[in-house]
Amino acid sequence: MNEKPSFYSEMYDAGTARPPYKTYDEWFSGQNNARLAKKSQEAEAFFRRTGITFNVYGQTDAEERLIPFDLVPRILSSREWTRLSKGIEQRVYAINAFLHDIYNRQEILRAGVIPVDLIARNDAFLPQMMGFSPPGDVYTHIVGTDIVRTGEDDFFVLEDNARTPSGVSYMLENRETMLQMFPELFSAIKVQPVSDYPKNLRRSLEASAPSSCSGRPCVVILTPGIHNSAYFEHSFLADQMGVELVEGHDLKVVDGRIAMRTTKGYKTIDVIYRRVDDEYLDPLTFNPVSMLGIPGIMDVYRAGNITIANAPGTGVADDKAVYSYLPDIVRFYTGEPAILKNVETYRCSEADSLKYVLDNLSELVVKEVHGSGGYGMLVGPTASKQELADFAAKLRARPANYIAQPTLALSTVPIFTESGLAPRHVDLRPFALVSPKGINITPGGLTRVALQEGSLVVNSSQGGGTKDTWVLED
């Protein structure tokens, strides 16, 4: 394989397979390219039949797309995963402690660790959550942590997804597809399973039920509906968990509880795994024209009679300006240094940082503080002069809306092409489940891959694909 030396190859070191990939490389070397190409087509046909698609906003000509799947797995050793999972657990714990603090005593603000304005003027901060603690003091029941790698032991957290992280359905379907296509691989290589995620998710949500719950908690998934970009995932998880998929019009307040319409009348529910944004959750509290939420749910919530996962107001924790303080947040709440490092981040709200970013725009990646999915982002090294000029104007107009980061030399994992293996850049989104009983992290996660040669943008909405992620057993 010809690969630029500036990028860390996870599979090869000077043409020799690294230890986690050794058995896989031996297997791959004995495969016929035509067979693998056929398997790749089979995988695409399977995904299409199953309906594993996502919607692309703003593109009427291709509203629903298939996420490309690459059949070469991304493999992590148990040692690598142990370090990653410890770092994720520490970070998730700190984020929950941070959210509880800023909506209650605000000790981190009084200590001057982060600026008051960063919270007070943050669009994701909800004053309606002040002085209230959710059941079990859990704010982020499901967290997706985006991690990138630049060297053998160099892992960085790119961002935290604490609102409604998506992608876990692709992690599960990718594994199922690989098991069906290459069962012999899983006999030869001991890979930690991911199939128990839906069961663990339901257990974690049930463990987070409010104290008013009697008997086994009733859990539902609240979806905005079929036009949402992640609707497949909402439906998939409801089916896998064995719970009802509901929309706002299926629920209402009955005797101080949230109840679900059924053929036998209304049934009380205890836990809502919501995939509806804060703004649309309760038209009586937030957006009055919302048709997606449940009128009065925030009153029921504050009375302690329903669990909402993730809690309203968690978006302040995955704000990209707040992200830049995460190492300080981790130390404040755990007393320890962060195991996983942040990417160096320039807060454009600060005059010196803004000047630096404007002077070096062609070398940086600039993101909106509340952005997601790769939208509203500038990748300086690949931008045209006009794009750079347009973005500089945006920065000057609303500097607090942006952060900037250096362009990282992301690690690569090969993808399968007609001419063989070719290196492509990847990131990783592991998923953590949080309940009063503890934190459970699924071994692996969703590996996203930039399918275009040289591209650093892995988001599916921007043309990226996915891989199965293997964590090896000891």
Residue intervals of the chain classified under CATH 3.30.1490.270 are 346-406
Q: What is the DSSP string of 290-339?
A: -SSS-TTHHHHHHTT--EEESPTTGGGGS-HHHHTTHHHHHHHHHSS--S
Is-contact 448 170, C-beta < 8 A?
Answer: no
Whole-number Å distance between alpha carbons of 53 and 259: 31
pLDDT of residue 341: 96
Task: Report the pLDDT value the prediction gives residue 73, as an integer from 0 to 100.
Answer: 98
pLDDT score recorded for residue 373 = 55
Q: What average pLDDT does the chain have?
A: 92
Cα gap 233→170, rounded to integer Å: 8
Instruction: Identify the pLDDT of residue 46.
Output: 85
Alpha carbon distance 296, 285 (integer Å): 8
* H or E stretch at 438: strand 438-441
Could you read off the pLDDT of 166-190 as tens digits, one per residue? 999 999 999 999 999 999 999 999 9
Q: Mean pLDDT for each 10-residue chunk of the chain (474 residues)?
A: 68 96 97 92 85 55 70 97 98 98 98 95 94 96 97 95 92 95 96 98 98 95 92 95 98 97 95 97 96 97 97 94 96 98 94 96 91 74 92 94 92 93 96 98 96 81 86 94
Assigned fold of 346-406: Dna Ligase; domain 1 (3.30.1490)
Could you tell me the pTM of the whole model?
A: 0.93
Q: What pLDDT, on the 0 to 100 scale, is given for residue 57? A: 46
Strands (E), 3-133: 12-13, 16-17, 53-55, 64-66, 69-76
